[in-house]
Structure 1
Amino acid sequence: MRKNCIDAVASLGIDSIMEKPVLTQVSIISLAVTGLYAAGAFVFAFSVGKSQSRINKLIIAWLVFDALIHFTLEGPFVYWSLVSTVEKSKHFTAQVWKEYALADKRWGMSDPTIVSLEILTVFITGPLAVWLIYIVLKKKPYRHFIQIVLCVCELYGGWMTFCPEWLTGSKNLKTDNFLYMWIYLVFFNGIWVVIPVLLLCQSWLEMTVTGEVKQTKVIESVTTTSVTHNYNTRSRKKME
């Protein structure tokens, strides 16, 4: 009877599900550190950017979080991938990527495409995020040009990370575990798609509105100048 019950459970696949850990010590620490990064980013944004609008404060918070992830997490990944592989490293900074590699194997084996993208992320996208924080705080006129460049870099990185894998059947992705699928793969990669798209829309609207306002001011200035000139001309003629 007991054996029959066990066989029935196994046939439903419940035993295999129970064997898959939802949270491990490494995953809990990794998620906690990510949460601290997010909290620190908000504290920085709302303290340093007191004079900024609410939307700009939120953008600064995102940029701080973005830069922290690129430098402190992806930076070590690039290093360990160039000198060896994440899988072979015993250093504590490699543990988070060993955990993520459970969802996407390429991050543990120094996949050339992934490493190439991460080099660009660490040395170009990260510094762009820091530069954009300065630009937003100082209200530089070229802010939205840099913001668009940064967003395009983020979206390109996401596309080139997953598109080649999708085209080859996603053989390196593990999608039968809730944590790996919905938290690691979907959520943590999805925010680097959703937020850059929103920032691109914001830049488009800001540049469009600013352009229309400047055009209106030019027209008003030209009209005012023309009216003033005509009035002065008529006044001189009457005096003559």
Structure 2
Amino acid sequence: MDALHHPYFPVNAEIIGYAANEWSVPALLGVFFSACAVLFVTTYFVAKSITPDMRRAELLTIMWFVLSGAIHMFFEGYYAANYATLGSKQTLIGQMWKEYAFSDSRYLTSNSFVLCMETVTAVFWGPGCMITAALIMLRHPMRYPVQCVVSVGQFYGDCLYYATSFFDHHIMGVTYYRPEPFYFWFYFIIMNFFWIVIPGYLVYRSAVETAKAVAIAQRVQSTKKVH
């Protein structure tokens, strides 16, 4: 297909080798959410087997980091490795990306910001998420510092992702999503907003717990000085 004949916005975007998806949307979404469910269940049982008395908040946090890590490394990592030919891919993940690209065609046009952002996410925050999940399972004292670093990275990357798209839309007059509300509100807004809200909360919790630990250490030091 010609590089300019495709269903994405803007209509003049050049997508080399574009080929329409072979799988239906329900099938692609079904596979994605089923994989997420399997990952959640598996993580739950692994975490409970390692630390049987684990609290619900800890379990939910572990499940979040494992899911995020898997998406960062395998889903976003696939994009980083195949960005130049993604428009022609008929692999499962390739078709998932082409479906998501209805909300952001930058993924099919070798956009420099998206490529750099996704590469950093796959290389650093993906493994970082898995390390954080392991630290929580083991209740390691480094859990909160590492959790904070990874969550700040996720939060910052997602803020830039939104900001660059909105800047191009409102200032440059370039829109990357199709006009159907489903693509903008579900794919672009809701599916990405998790990486604003949850990392933001985890940064806050990390700061609170770190402050508590420092306060205790300071009190211990003060007591030692008195004696």
TM-score (norm 2): 0.79
Partners of 2:40 and 2:144 in 1: CA distance:
21
Of 190-199 and 99-108, the range deviating more from structure 2: 99-108
Q: How does 1:114-193 map to 2 (within 5 A)?
A: 114-169=114-169, 171-174=174-177, 176-193=179-196
Unmatched segments (≥5 aa) in structure 1: 1-23, 227-240
Structure 2 CA distance, aligned partners of 1:175 and 1:152? 30
Aligned match of 1:10: none
Aligned equivalents of 1:162, 1:128: Cα separation in 2: 22
CA contact (8 A) 1:85 1:110 kept: no
RMSD between aligned alpha carbons? 2.1
1:49 corresponds in structure 2 to 47
| Aligned-pair CA distance for 1:125 | 0.8
Q: Tell me which structure has the larger Cα radius of gyration.
A: 1
**Aligned 8 A contact 1:103 1:181 in 2:** yes
> Could you say which residue in structure 2 is the equivalent of 1:78?
80
**CA contact 2:86–2:98 (8 Å) conserved in 1:** yes
User: Percent identity at matched positions?
Assistant: 25
Secondary structure of 1:102 counterpart: coil
SS at match of 2:85: coil
Shift of 1:48: 2.1
Higher helix share: 1
| Equivalent position SS for 1:169 | helix
Q: Is the 8 A contact 1:42 1:58 kept in 2?
A: no
Corresponding letter in the other structure for 1:145: P
Aligned with 1:27 (options 25, 32, 38): 25
Q: TM-score, normalised by structure 1?
A: 0.75
Q: Which has the higher contact order (CA 8 A, sep 6+)?
A: 2
Q: Which of residues 187, 194, 197 in structure 1 aligns to 2:197?
A: 194
Offset of 1:221 from its aligned partner? 4.8
- The answer to whether the Cα contact below 8 Å between 1:63 and 1:129 also exists between their aligned partners in 2 is yes
- Determine the structure 1 residue equivalent to 2:9: none
Q: Does 1:214 align with 2:217?
A: yes
In structure 2, distance between residues paired with 1:146 and 1:29:
36
In the alignment, the residues of structure 2 paired with residue 57 and residue 90 of structure 1 have an alpha-carbon distance, to the nearest angstrom, of 36
In structure 1, how many angstroms separate the alpha carbons of the residues matched to 2:182 and 2:157? Answer: 22
CA distance in 2, matches of 1:220, 1:42: 45
Deviation at 1:115, TM superposition (A): 0.8
Unaligned runs of 5+ in 2: 1-21
CA contact (8 A) 1:106 1:172 kept: no
Q: Distance in 2 between matches of 1:53 and 1:115?
A: 38
Q: Say which of 200, 205, 208 aligns to 1:205.
A: 208
Q: How many residues align?
A: 199
- Quote the residue 2:70 is aligned against: 68
User: Separation in 2 of the partners of 1:26 and 1:222?
Assistant: 70
